[in-house]
Homo-oligomer: A and B are copies of this chain.
Amino acid sequence: MSDQTWHQSQGMLNWLKNYQRAFLIGDVSAGVIVALLLIPQGVAYAIVAGLPPVTGLYASILPPLAYALFGSSMVQSVGAQAITALMIGTTLSTMAPPGSPLNLVLAAQMALIAGVTLLVCGALRLGFLASFLSRPVMSGFTSGSALVIAGEQLRPLLGGALTSVRPYSACIGLGSLLLMWLAKKYLARLLEQIGIRKKWADTLSRLAPVAVLLTAMLLVSAFGLNQLGVAVVGKVPSGLPDIGFSVSNDHWRALLGPSMLMAFVIFLFSQSAAQSLAQKRNERIKVDHELFGLGAANLLSAVSGGFPVTGSISRSAVNYEAGANTPLASVISAAILALVLVAPTGWLSWLPMPVLAATIIIAVVGMIDFATLKESWNYDRSDAAAMLGAAGGVILLGIEAGVILGVALSLASIIWRASHPHIAVLGRIAGSEHFRNIHRHEAETLADVLMLRIDSDLFFGNADIVVGHVENLLNERTSQGLHTHHVLLVMSAVNVIDTTALHALIELNKNLRDRDITLHFSEIKGPVMDRLQRSHFMNALPDVQLFLSTAQAYHYFEMHPPLSR
Q: Which of B6, B378, B472 contacts A535 (CB 8 A)?
A: B378
- What is the CA–CA distance of A137 and B375 in the complex, to the nearest angstrom? 40
A5-B534 in contact given A135-B503, A498-B383 (Cβ < 8 Å) = no
Number of interface residues of A (CB under 8 A): 79
Interface residues of A in 269-288 (CB under 8 A from B): 275, 279, 282, 284
| A275 neighbours in B (Cβ, 8 Å) | 464
Q: Which of B5, B134, B460 contacts A135 (CB 8 A)?
A: B460
Q: Mark A439-467, 1 if CB is under 8 A from B, else 0.
A: 01000000000000001110111111100
| A510 neighbours in B (Cβ, 8 Å) | 279
Cross-chain contact B459 with A134 (CB below 8 angstroms): yes
- What is the CA–CA distance of A478 and B493 in the complex, to the nearest angstrom? 29
| A378 neighbours in B (Cβ, 8 Å) | 534-535
| A3 neighbours in B (Cβ, 8 Å) | 515
Cross-chain contact B6 with A474 (CB below 8 angstroms): yes
Q: Which of B372, B507, B536 contacts A499 (CB 8 A)?
A: B372
- What is the CA–CA distance of A525 and B453 in the complex, to the nearest angstrom? 15
Residue A397 lies at the interface, judged by CB distance under 8 Å to chain B: no
Cross-chain contact B128 with A4 (CB below 8 angstroms): no
Residue A418 lies at the interface, judged by CB distance under 8 Å to chain B: yes
Q: Which of B416, B493, B499 contacts A455 (CB 8 A)?
A: B493
Closest to A422 in B: B495
Query: Shortest Cβ distance from A539 into chain B, in angstroms?
Result: 12
Residue A226 lies at the interface, judged by CB distance under 8 Å to chain B: no
- What is the CA–CA distance of A1 and B479 in the complex, to the nearest angstrom? 14
**Copies of this chain present:** 2
- What is the CA–CA distance of A496 and B134 in the complex, to the nearest angstrom? 14
Query: Shortest Cβ distance from A182 into chain B, in angstroms?
Result: 30
Query: Shortest Cβ distance from A455 into chain B, in angstroms?
Result: 6
Q: Which of B419, B440, B471 contacts A284 (CB 8 A)?
A: B471
- What is the CA–CA distance of A4 and B378 in the complex, to the nearest angstrom? 44
| A514 neighbours in B (Cβ, 8 Å) | 2, 282
Query: Shortest Cβ distance from A547 into chain B, in angstroms?
Result: 16
- What is the CA–CA distance of A459 and B413 in the complex, to the nearest angstrom? 10
Residue A194 lies at the interface, judged by CB distance under 8 Å to chain B: no
Residue A131 lies at the interface, judged by CB distance under 8 Å to chain B: yes
Residue A517 lies at the interface, judged by CB distance under 8 Å to chain B: yes
Cross-chain contact B422 with A134 (CB below 8 angstroms): no
- What is the CA–CA distance of A4 and B375 in the complex, to the nearest angstrom? 47
| A455 neighbours in B (Cβ, 8 Å) | 493, 495
Q: Which of B416, B420, B499, B531 contacts A375 (CB 8 A)?
A: B499
| A531 neighbours in B (Cβ, 8 Å) | 379-380
- What is the CA–CA distance of A128 and B420 in the complex, to the nearest angstrom? 9
Cross-chain contact B499 with A376 (CB below 8 angstroms): yes
Interface residues of A in 492-529 (CB under 8 A from B): 493, 495-496, 498-500, 502-503, 507, 510-511, 514-517, 525-526
Cross-chain contact B499 with A128 (CB below 8 angstroms): no
Cross-chain contact A460 with B133 (CB below 8 angstroms): yes
Residue A16 lies at the interface, judged by CB distance under 8 Å to chain B: no
Query: Shortest Cβ distance from A73 into chain B, in angstroms?
Result: 15
Residue A319 lies at the interface, judged by CB distance under 8 Å to chain B: no
Cross-chain contact A379 with B499 (CB below 8 angstroms): yes
Residue A330 lies at the interface, judged by CB distance under 8 Å to chain B: no
Cross-chain contact B499 with A135 (CB below 8 angstroms): yes
| A495 neighbours in B (Cβ, 8 Å) | 422, 455
Closest to A502 in B: B379
Residue A235 lies at the interface, judged by CB distance under 8 Å to chain B: no
Residue A211 lies at the interface, judged by CB distance under 8 Å to chain B: no
| A483 neighbours in B (Cβ, 8 Å) | 1, 4
Cross-chain contact B511 with A464 (CB below 8 angstroms): no
Cross-chain contact A417 with B457 (CB below 8 angstroms): yes
Most chain-B CB neighbours within 10 Å: which of A471, A483, A525? A471
Q: Mark A338-377, 1 if CB is under 8 A from B, else 0.
A: 0000000000000000000000000000000000100110
Residue A254 lies at the interface, judged by CB distance under 8 Å to chain B: no
Cross-chain contact B279 with A4 (CB below 8 angstroms): no
Residue A410 lies at the interface, judged by CB distance under 8 Å to chain B: yes
Known: A3-B515, A131-B461. 9 other contacts (CB 8 A): A2-B516, A131-B415, A131-B465, A132-B460, A375-B499, A379-B502, A379-B535, A414-B414, A440-B526
Shortest 4 CB-CB contacts between residues of A and residues of B: A134-B460, A135-B500, A383-B499, A379-B535
- 14 inter-chain pairs at a CB distance below 8 angstroms, sorted by A residue, are A2-B514, A4-B475, A6-B472, A6-B475, A134-B500, A136-B499, A279-B511, A284-B471, A372-B499, A379-B499, A379-B502, A380-B531, A383-B498, A417-B418
